[in-house]
Chains A and B, each alone.
Chain A
Amino acid sequence: MGNRGTSLVELLVGILLLGVFAVVVHQFFRTVLHGVRVLEVASEAQEAARIGVQQMVRDLRGAGFSPNTPLPDGIRLATADAVEVQSDLNGDGDTADANEVVGYSLSRSARTLMRILGQAPPQPMIPDLAPDGLALAYLDADGMPLPMANGRVDDGDRERIRRIDVILRIEIAHPDPAYRQPLRALETATVALRNR
C-alpha cells in the first residue's frame, strides 16, 4: 500500500474498464454520427429543393418580358411536369438570343429536374427527384386552375395563365441501408407572372 504503485492486476482491470468505456463511447458516437449523417442528407435534400424552386420562380416570374410590350406567348409550354417560357430580353423582336427561352421538365427515367436554356439540349439541374418530383399547376386571373387536356394547358388557355404553382419533391435514399424509407424534402411556391 502507500506508494507501492499499480499492480498488473489493477492495470488489467483498468484496461478492461477502458475497453468497456471505449465500446460505449463508440456506440454513442456511432448513433450520433448516424443521426448527423441523416440530418445532413435531409438538409441537402431540402437545400436542393429550395435552390431548384428559387431558380424556377426567378425564371418564370419574368416570362413574356419584352421592353415594348409583353409577349402574348410568353409561356410556350405548360404541362403538369414541364414548363417553357420565353422573353425578348434585348428587345430585338425575337426570342432566339441567349437566355431568352428557359424551360424546366422532369426526367422520370433519370429522376432529375432538367433545365432548358435557349436552343441547347436540356441540362440536369437537381438530381434525386421523386417519381412525381415536379408538379405544376396553372391558374388564371381569378386564381382558378386552368384545365389540362392530355396533361397540358391548351394553346388558347396559355394566355390566361397568371400564376403558376410549383411543387418540387426530392427523395434521397436513406444513408442507413436498414431503412427502406427514403429521406424526403418538399418545396412549394406560387409564381405571379409579372408581365401579364
Chain B
Amino acid sequence: MMKRARITSEAGNALVTTLIVTASVAPLGAFALMQARLDLLLQHNTRDALELFYVAESGLEHALADLARDPVFDRLLAGPDGRAGTADDREFPFQAPPPPVFPSAPLRYQVEVEPRSPGLVDIIARGFGNGTAAHAVAASVRQSAVPFVPAAVYSAAERVTVALNEGIGISGFDRSGQQDPQPALALATDAATDALRTGLDPVAAAQLRGAGGTPSIGTVSFPAVETLAAAFAGDPSARVIGPAIEGPIGSGATVCPGSLEVGNAEGDGVLIVHGNLQVTGQFSFSGVLFVLGDVIFDRGSDVHIVGSILQGSGRGQLHGLGIGTVAYDSQVVQQLDLQFPGRLPRRALVSGWRELS
C-alpha cells in the first residue's frame, strides 16, 4: 500500500510568500526609480544649460555696460593692464573686476576679447558651472569709422566748477547734424558729475544743452587728455606760441607750453594749452582745444568755439562770463582726424550678438 505524502512542516511558508511578493514588486520599483532618475537628469541638464546661458549673458552684459561707459575701442585689445603685448591681452579690461562667483558658487563667468580682423573684435562671455559645463555667447564690437570726442566740453578733473552767465551757451547738439546729441559737458567720474550737479547754479545749468536734457551733463570714460594732447603736440608741424596771442592763430597744431591769454584771435585745428586758457576778447576757433588748466572766458569776451574743448585732469574750472557759444561739431572733429590721422580715439560699437555653445 502506497504511503500518502505529507508536508510535515509549515516552516519557510512566510519566506516563500515574502520572496514571491518581493520578486513581483522589485522590477516595478526598479523601473520607477530608473524613470525618475532619467527625468531628473533631463531636468538638470535643461536647467543647467539655461542657468549657464544666463550666467554667460550676465558676463556679456557686464562687459557691454563697461564698454558703454568707456567706449574707446583701443583699450579692448590691451587687457586689464592697459598694455598691448602682455599675457592678459585677451582678458576683457573690466573697470571693476568681475565677481569671483555669480550669482552663487559654483557659477561664474569669464569674458575674453578675441581679435577677429583689424578694427573688429569678438567679446566672448562664458558661463561656468559644475564640472566642465559651460555656455558661451559673443558680441562683435567694431571700431567706429569716425573719431570719438565725448562732448562739447570734457573735463577729466576730479572736482569741476562751472560758472556760466546767460550770454554763453554750451551745446552738445551736433552742429553738422550728422550724429546724435552728445552731452554739453562730460566728466570722467560719477562722483565728479554728482558733485557738479549738486553745486551747479540754475543759470549755468540752463546753458548746458544737449543729450539728456538740460543741464546736459554726462559721465564718460575717455583716454587721458594729457596723452592725447602730447600726441598732437609731438606732430612735426606743431607750432609753439607765447603766453599771449592776438590775431590769427593759424591752422594745424598750435602749442602753448604754459598758460595762454587770448585777445581778439581766430584759428582752427588743434590748440594745446598746458596751463590756463583765458579769453579776454573776440575768439573764434574751429577744432579741438586741449586745455590742461582752467578755462576762463572773461567778462567782455565773445567766444565762438566749434568742435570741442578737452580739459585735463589737473584743474577743473570752467568759467564763462562773457558771451558766445561752445558747440560740438562732429564734422570739424572728423576733419581734424583726417589732418592728424590716428590721434583721436575711436568709439567701440556693438554690431552683433550670437550664441556659441
B230 within 8 A of A: no
Of A1-9, A132-140, A170-178, which binds chain B? A1-9
- Whether B8 contacts A89 by the Cβ 8 Å rule is no
- Assess the A32–B46 pair: CB atoms within 8 A: no
Name the distance in Å between A28's Cβ and chain B's nearest Cβ: 10
Do the beta carbons of A61 and B142 come within 8 Å of each other? no
Please, which residues of chain B bring their CB within 8 A of the CB of A7?
A: 6
Number of A-B contacts (CB under 8 A): 69
**Known contacts A36-B31, A67-B142, A68-B142; A43/B39 CB under 8 A:** yes
Which A residues between 39 and 86 are near B, CB-CB below 8 angstroms? 40, 43, 47, 50, 54, 58, 61-62, 65-70
B32 within 8 A of A: yes
Given known contacts A36-B31, A67-B140, A4 and B352 CB-to-CB distance under 8 angstroms: no
B117, CB-defined interface residue at 8 Å: yes
Query: Which size class do B's interface residues fall under?
Result: 20 to 34
Q: In the complex, how many angstroms separate the beta carbon of A16 from the nearest chain B beta carbon?
A: 14
Distance in angstroms between the alpha carbons of A18 and B353 in the assembled complex: 68
Interface size class of A (residues with CB under 8 A): 20 to 34
Contact partner, B8, options A4, A29, A32, A36, Cβ 8 Å? A4
- The complex places the Cα of A137 from the Cα of B77 at a distance, in Å, of 41
Check if B351 is an interface residue, CB within 8 A of chain A.
yes
The docked-state distance in angstroms from the alpha carbon of A11 to that of B31 is: 34
Complex-state Cα separation, A69 to B8, whole angstroms: 93
Asked if A13 CB lies within 8 Å of chain B CBs, one says no
* Residue in chain A with minimal CB distance to B4: A8
B35 lies within 8 A of A6 (CB): no
Q: Closest approach, in angstroms, between the C-beta of B333 and any C-beta of chain A?
A: 22
Of the candidates B8, B10, B20, B352, the one whose C-beta lies within 8 Å of that of A65 is B352
Q: Residue A50 contacts which of B28, B46, B140, B354 (CB distance < 8 angstroms)?
A: B46
Q: Is A25 an interface residue when CB atoms closer than 8 A count as contact?
A: yes
B49 CB to nearest A CB, Å: 8
B 28-43 contacts with A by CB, 8 A = 28, 31-32, 35, 39, 42
**Could you list some 29 contacts between A and B, CB below 8 A?**
A3-B9, A4-B6, A5-B6, A5-B8, A5-B9, A6-B6, A29-B24, A29-B28, A33-B28, A36-B31, A36-B32, A36-B35, A43-B39, A47-B42, A50-B46, A54-B49, A61-B355, A62-B353, A65-B140, A65-B352, A65-B353, A67-B116, A67-B122, A67-B142, A67-B351, A67-B352, A68-B351, A70-B352, A89-B354
